[in-house]
Amino acid sequence: MDSAAIDGARQPPARMGSRLCTRCGERKAALKRPKTLEQICRECFYVVFEDEIHRTIVDNNLFNSGDRVAIGASGGKDSTVLAYVLSELNRRHKYGLDLFLLSVDEGITGYRDDSLETVKRNEIQYGLPLKIVSYKDLYGWTMDDIVKAIGLKNNCTFCGVFRRQALDRGAALLKVDKIVTGHNADDIAETVLLNILRGDIARLSRCTFITTGEDGPIPRCKPFKYTYEKEIVMYAYFKKLDYFSTECIYSPNAYRGFAREFIKDLERMRPRAILDIIKSGENFRISTTTRMPEQGTCERCGYISSQKLCKACVLLDGLNRGLPKLGIGRTKGVSGVDSDGEQQDKRSERDRSSLQGKHGNIDF
């Protein structure tokens, strides 16, 4: 999700000269808003940015007063801005939420250990209790171990499947009602496009849902569904938020990377393109004859699965038997189109869904 060009460099947004803000008409414009190209001042940018997220939360009834909510916190820009903005809005609009930071330590030396240090600082900065769950504790394997066993080809498959379940397990320990993640509008547009490119109609039908997993143990929602990545970066920059901006050292950049670049090109020509792709995804209608996944629980670990054994258990079995490729491979998607378990890490939607195979179930 990170765009190195935007995020890594942490360049200040271009200066606006002496023009006045088109919203307040009083202060000097400090930036051109990526979503609308309006020239506005910082203060007005904060207001519109936060208000749009508030509207998304209210219009979609994301929370109920009294909810315990875990923020999936990776230390990256999206989840850091989410933690900051959600705690601000919770106070300002009296949502009545009990917020927690929930981090998954995948065991990636030189990456996750450093980003978790950021989350630990966020815990203090935002006054939100932090829970960390690790692959090592849950599965007996770190990603470093897994990469040693399987190499760099299918490693993201393991990571995506394990992370999803690890978030559920952490959320169960925290006894929360919901998990929120920092998936933003660019991520969702990208996933719509990828599902079209793959002809994966079943996943296309649900990848734009703002809340998923309502039939599972703990629903997940994406308050940044309509928030542009560029604006998240700008917000973090202006607010001087403390976040970690390095790409995962094991994450290759294949098919999804092309989709991402394509969307960035479209955005350059027409900023609305991102919202329009999401809208198209929302408005697709799935034929009633398309077979949809049936969800149950894994016979072994009891977590959600649409097969007898969940994907995490199948993958773990392979690792423990010295056959790490056991659970990897081409599986038939619901659409009848093979999903190839292609690696990369827009781990959430794609990896998990392509790996759930025939009965792939929930998306972030």
Binding residues for ligand ATP (CB under 6 A): 1-2, 72-74, 76-79, 102-104, 106, 163, 181-183, 345-348
Burial (CB < 10 A; 0-12, 13-18, 19+), residue 361, is buried
Least Å from the CB of residue 301 to ligand ATP: 19
Instruction: Identify which of residues 42 and 183 has a Cβ nearer to ligand ATP in the complex.
Output: 183
Rounded distance, CA 32 to CA 17, Å?
Answer: 11
Rounded distance, CA 238 to CA 63, Å?
Answer: 28
Burial (CB < 10 A; 0-12, 13-18, 19+), residue 13, is middle
Pairing of strands 296-297, 211-212: unpaired
Q: Alpha carbon 133 to chain centroid distance? A: 18
- b/e code 296-325 from CB counts within 10 Å (16+ = b): eebeebebbbbbebbbbbbbbebbeeeebe
Instruction: Identify which of residues 183 and 311 has a Cβ nearer to ligand ATP in the complex.
Output: 183
Least Å from the CB of residue 268 to ligand ATP: 20
Least Å from the CB of residue 106 to ligand ATP: 6
Least Å from the CB of residue 246 to ligand ATP: 10
Report how far apart, in Å, the C-alpha atoms of 110 and of each of 7, 123, 172, 297, 300 are: 19, 21, 28, 35, 33
Instruction: Identify which of residues 73 and 189 has a Cβ nearer to ligand ATP in the complex.
Output: 73
DSSP letters for 215-263: TSSS-EE-TTTT--HHHHHHHHHHTT-----PPPTT----HHHHHHHHH
Instruction: Identify which of residues 74 and 343 has a Cβ nearer to ligand ATP in the complex.
Output: 74
Least Å from the CB of residue 287 to ligand ATP: 30
Least Å from the CB of residue 169 to ligand ATP: 12
Rounded distance, CA 305 to CA 291, Å?
Answer: 16
Instruction: Identify which of residues 41 and 232 has a Cβ nearer to ligand ATP in the complex.
Output: 232
Least Å from the CB of residue 208 to ligand ATP: 16
Rounded distance, CA 358 to CA 339, Å?
Answer: 9
Q: Alpha carbon 354 to chain centroid distance? A: 16
Q: Which residue is nearest to ligand ATP (CB)?
A: 76
Rounded distance, CA 267 to CA 134, Å?
Answer: 37
Instruction: Identify which of residues 335 and 343 has a Cβ nearer to ligand ATP in the complex.
Output: 343
Least Å from the CB of residue 291 to ligand ATP: 28
Instruction: Identify which of residues 23 and 225 has a Cβ nearer to ligand ATP in the complex.
Output: 225
Instruction: Identify which of residues 4 and 124 has a Cβ nearer to ligand ATP in the complex.
Output: 4
Least Å from the CB of residue 78 to ligand ATP: 3
- b/e code 50-81 from CB counts within 10 Å (16+ = b): bebbbebbeeeebbeeeeebbbbbbbbbbbbb
Instruction: Identify which of residues 4 and 197 has a Cβ nearer to ligand ATP in the complex.
Output: 4
